[in-house]
Structures are given as structure tokens and as C-alpha cells.
Amino acid sequence: MEWNGTVVLSFGGYVEVEKYGYVYFLLLFPLYVFILCSNGIIIFLIWTHRNLHEPMYIFIAALSLNSILFSTVIFPKLFVDVLSNEQVISYSGCLVQSLFFYSSGSSDLLLLLAMAYDRYVSICRPLQYSTAMSKVTVRIFLTLAWFVPVFQTTVLMVMQSRQKVCNLTLSGFFCNATMTQIHCTSPIYLRVWGLFVVVNISVIPMFLILLTYMKIFMNIYNSHGEVQNKAISTCLPHVTFLIMTISLMTIDIIIGLLDTVISKKVSLIMNLQVLVYNPLFNPIMYGLKMKEIWKHLRRLLLCRSHVEKMNIGAE
């Protein structure tokens, strides 16, 4: 349908939203608050403690910032939809949501590649670390990780915006790969550029990350037990986050290809996993597994508990 000349799309991926709208809200709103608070705490700790102003922790803070931006683009609109009688979005708004969705996911992969390189230099080339991972290098990595995905995805969204829309119902409940099903045609240049973007900011970074960690684990294989434990303890959260990211990207591709043949409930569950897992478990993994972050987090919690006790005593 159209409203004031704007193409309006409807979301068809909800399951009995008229009946369970408040249930959706009560389940998802606490998750969103936890995502904001936990990732915000990680950023705050890294920002305020000088001993965390190292490349590895700066990249972790960038991942947390991505999680906040990603969730803020998706969740507020989700809350409005589940509490409304109609679940709709303008075509231009859908393109913007899709832009942030895929830009942040690709940015996560490039940040993981930077973190893999940081671990490789730290473990395999420790004498070259200060030179290889200088402040300038870190800034270059951050700039590339944020702006390359945005630029390439923006070009893709501009191409899609020029395509004629034949189907006004999205089979999901936010704008992801299911957008390909609403266009009348898929020109060859659009498919070629889409494939280029996927390979350039997804496949190649994943391959380089896996290759880097293979070299790291081969290097530490013959090391002493203490060296092995330290290397594994710093690499394990990164590898876990990488596996989760690859898994969720695979799920999103499956949704885009097979959404018309899988049930609405299965599609809903798969989409929720894509939305929740990384932003939710990113601060948990790095907050609990990274020793220095956990140390400052524990001090923060103990300090807050002590202040609350003093306030209660004063009353």
C-alpha cells in the first residue's frame, strides 16, 4: 500500500501478535535493557581504565558499541509493532534498517579480524607488537571496520531502492534477507554487487580469521603449559564469538533462501536468534572470560554494593 506517496510494507512474520503482543514485549524489552546496560558497562570500563587502553580491549569496546547500535535500530521498532494493530514500515525505512543490520554484522567480522591479527602479533611476534599494533594501526583498523561495510552496503541499498516492488508483505518481522522477495526482478548487476559485498566483507574476513587462529594454535602447540593457557584464555572468547557470528550469518542466509518453505514459528525462532545472541552474549563472554575486564567489573559491582549498604545504614 501507499501513504502520502510512500510505499509501505507490512511484516508477516509474527505469530499471533494480536493475541501475544504483550508477551512479546515483556520477553524482549528486558533483553534490550540488558543489552544496553551490559554493553554500556563494558564500554565504560574500557574507557575509564588506562590499563584497558590496549588494542584488544579497544576492539572489544567497538564490538559492544556495534551491539548497542544494532539493537537500537531493531528493537524499538519491534516494540512499536508488537503493541500496535498494524505491523508496517516504509520501504525507505526498511532499507535503512537493513543497511544498519548488515553493516553492523559485517563490521563485527572485520573487528574480529583485527582482534585475530592482534592476538597473532602478541603471541607469535611479541617483539614486534608495539610497532605492529600502534595507535595509528588501531585507528586504521577501526576506520576500515566501520566505514567499508557502511559504504558497500549503502551502494547495495541504493541499487535496491531503484527496483520495482511487487510484494508488499515481508515474511519476517524486521528487514533482513527476506527483502529480496519483495522485488519484481533481480537484475544481474544487483546480484553481482551483492555477491561482491558478501565475499568482500564476510567470506574473506572469515577465511583470514580462521587462517590466523590456525597459525596461532600451531605456534603455541609446542609451547609451555603456562604460555598455552594464557594464549588460549585470550583467544577463546574471540573464537567463540566468531563461531556465533558465522552461525547467525548462516541462519540469516537460510532464512532468505528458504523462508517460503519453512513454518512461520521456525522462522520466528531463527530470526530471534539472529537478533539476540551476539548483542546479548558479547558482554557476557568478554566480561567474564577476559581477566582484566572481569577484575574491573567485580570492583564496580562491589563498590556499588558497598554504597547501597552505606545508604541503607544512613537511613
Each residue's pLDDT expressed in tens, for the chain with a length of 315 residues:
554 446 788 887 777 777 878 888 898 899 899 889 888 888 888 888 887 788 888 998 898 899 898 889 889 988 888 888 888 888 888 888 888 888 888 888 899 889 889 888 888 888 888 888 888 999 999 999 999 999 988 998 888 888 888 878 887 778 877 777 788 877 888 888 888 888 888 888 888 888 888 888 887 776 666 666 666 666 777 777 777 777 777 776 666 666 556 667 777 777 777 788 778 877 777 665 566 666 766 776 666 554 444 444 445
CATH number at 2-314: 1.20.1070.10
Residue 140's pLDDT is 93
Task: Detail the DSSP E strand segments found in 115-223.
Answer: 169-170
Q: Check: CB of residue 163 under 8 Å from CB of residue 154.
A: no
**Rounded Cα gap, residues 68 and 268, in angstroms:** 22
Rounded to 5 degrees, φ, ψ at 61 are -60, -40
* Annotated domain spans of the chain: 2-314
pLDDT of residue 228: 66
CA distance 83 to 192: 39
Q: How far is CA 111 from CA 104, 107, 241, 286, in A?
A: 10, 6, 11, 14
Cβ atoms of residues 164 and 185 within 8 Å: yes
* pLDDT at position 314: 45
Look-up: residue for cell 559491582? Answer: 301
Q: Where are the beta strands (DSSP E) in 131-255?
A: 169-170
How much is the pLDDT for 141? 92
Which residues, 6+ apart, have CB-to-CB distance to 141 below 8 Å?
59, 110, 111, 114, 117
